[in-house]
């Protein structure tokens, strides 16, 4: 990894490099994605079936597009029972954590008869996209579906690619069943996003689409936003570790590599106040690379977006971390909880040497669908609120409105909206 002294210039250069990874910078794919979306919008199932045959080499029709109960039963028989039990434990942790996020409706009634409140209701249909290509991610299935179930969403529709025999990864199906998916369709890519956004004869239109995917999926979600809601346009994975001289260099190196193995665009950054630790971590990284199975991907990722930054002070290190606003932030320092109070921007924060990032990916309970590419400055992890709608409640009595009607009329007239003012004034006309 590159060991660099942390300065304002190096920080800005790194930020510019990281931003190049954003899906918003892949305009060359947008025309193809737009074509797929328009085709699905116009032709529905016909287009979906054609794209499935083109991209997944599976001859799809209305009879085989949906995953059956028998296929789910076969999936349970194909997955190790011990692993299924792990999925169930993870699901329970995720459910317990997200249940604490639920918010109640409320009403505030005053003696003059005015009532103000907020009503919380779940969306009706949620759409979940699950990648299927080179790897299966049952953890993402759990993280997407369970918050929607906790919120009370009536129907959860999941789409995921199949192979050329029309089969879906069994681990994905088991996780979907444990989490509570209502309908599962064998459709991937931008065509799946379009189908959920606009609806087809087979696939219902949803209110919101969540879930990770490749650049085509990310751009498709961006394109249909407004027709439906989305969670975010996710970029490549990233980790930032804040560490001092007390950190175990072997742990730090292992944690950096846990994200670098995702793909060549993943980012792994260490910011430390210790030059000695920087050198030790670099050596440990080299050692791990010799025995890790995805070493080629990791090496490319580290070559492009792997940095070890040596900061003069803890304050400089924290400032840089807040500017980078990483998806995952680990604090491996003498006083991690104290340092945490200075962090303003991060998707998820992991404190202490036994809180490795994969703990959050798979098991702890907080959602692992997190803001990337610096968007932690204004976005949050996927949560129950993402599947809820807030409706304002307003009720005034005659007494309550009479006390303020002249103020409202004056406000409306100041904006030139006399019909607004009249709507209030007519209620107090005196014959």
- Rounded Cα distance between 307 and 107, Å, is 51
What share of residues in the chain are helix, strand, coil (percent, to 5)?
A: 50, 15, 35
Which of 284, 328, 330, 368 does the annotation list as catalytic?
Answer: 328
> How many other β-carbons are positioned within 10 Å of the β-carbon of residue 390?
11
Query: Is there a contact between 271 and 321 (Cβ–Cβ < 8 Å)?
Result: yes
Query: Is there a contact between 211 and 144 (Cβ–Cβ < 8 Å)?
Result: yes
Tokens 């098991």 label which residue? 363
- Rounded Cα distance between 367 and 360, Å, is 7
Query: Is there a contact between 220 and 247 (Cβ–Cβ < 8 Å)?
Result: no
> Is 327 considered catalytic here?
yes
| DSSP-derived 3-state class of residue 256 | helix
Which of 238, 284, 327, 357 does the annotation list as catalytic?
Answer: 327
Sheet of strand 306-310, all strands in order from the earlier edge strand to the far edge: 2-5, 306-310, 267-272, 238-243, 328-332, 348-351
CA dihedral 378, 384, 389, 395 (to 10 degrees): -100
Query: Is there a contact between 168 and 136 (Cβ–Cβ < 8 Å)?
Result: no
Partners of 122 in the beta sheet?
Answer: 388
Describe the crossing of helices 30-43 and 45-56 by its angle, rounded to 10 degrees: 140
Tokens 């175990």 label which residue? 248
Structure tokens at 305: 């977006």
Query: Is there a contact between 242 and 330 (Cβ–Cβ < 8 Å)?
Result: yes
- Rounded Cα distance between 87 and 139, Å, is 8
The CA angle 86-92-96, to the nearest 5 degrees, is: 150
Give the catalytic positions in this structure: 327-328
């Amino acid at each position: 990894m590159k060991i660099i002294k942390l300065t304002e210039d190096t920080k800005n250069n790194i930020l510019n490099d990281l931003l190049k990874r954003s899906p918003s910078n892949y305009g060359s794919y947008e025309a193809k994605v737009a074509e797929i979306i328009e085709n699905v919008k116009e032709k529905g199932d016909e287009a979906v079936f054609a794209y499935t045959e083109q991209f997944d080499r599976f001859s799809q029709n209305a009879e085989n597009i949906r995953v059956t109960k028998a296929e789910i039963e076969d999936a349970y028989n194909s997955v190790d029972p011990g692993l299924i039990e792990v999925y169930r434990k993870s699901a329970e942790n995720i459910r317990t954590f997200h249940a604490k996020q639920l918010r109640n409706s409320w009403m505030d009634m005053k003696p003059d008869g005015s009532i103000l409140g907020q009503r919380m209701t779940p969306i009706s249909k949620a759409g979940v996209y699950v990648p299927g290509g080179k790897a299966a991610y049952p953890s993402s299935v759990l993280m997407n579906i369970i918050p929607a179930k906790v919120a009370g969403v009536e129907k959860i529709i999941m789409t995921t690619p199949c192979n050329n025999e029309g089969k879906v990864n069994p681990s994905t199906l088991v996780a979907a069943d444990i989490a509570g998916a209502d309908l599962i369709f064998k459709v991937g890519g931008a065509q799946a996003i379009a189908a959920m956004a606009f609806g087809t004869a087979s696939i219902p239109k949803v209110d919101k689409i969540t879930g990770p995917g490749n650049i085509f999926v990310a751009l498709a979600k961006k394109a249909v936003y407004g027709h439906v809601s989305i969670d975010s346009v996710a970029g490549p994975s990233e980790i930032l570790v804040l560490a001092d001289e007390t950190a175990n260099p072997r742990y730090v190196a292992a944690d950096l590599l846990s994200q670098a193995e995702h793909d060549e665009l993943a980012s792994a950054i260490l910011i430390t106040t210790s030059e000695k630790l920087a050198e030790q971590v670099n050596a440990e990284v080299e050692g791990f690379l010799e025995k890790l199975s995805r070493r080629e991907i990791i090496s490319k990722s580290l070559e492009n977006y792997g940095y070890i930054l040596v900061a003069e002070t803890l304050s400089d290190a924290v400032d840089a971390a807040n500017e980078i606003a990483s998806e995952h932030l680990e604090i491996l320092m003498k006083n991690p909880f104290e340092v945490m109070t200075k962090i303003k921007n991060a998707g998820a924060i992991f404190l202490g040497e036994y809180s490795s990032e994969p703990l959050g990916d798979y098991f702890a309970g907080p959602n692992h669908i997190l803001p990337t590419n610096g968007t932690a400055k204004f976005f949050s992890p996927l949560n129950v609120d993402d599947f809820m709608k807030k409706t304002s409640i307003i009720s005034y009595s005659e007494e309550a409105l009479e006390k303020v009607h002249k103020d409202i009329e004056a406000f409306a007239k100041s904006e030139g909206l006399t019909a607004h003012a009249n709507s209030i004034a007519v209620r107090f006309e005196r014959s």
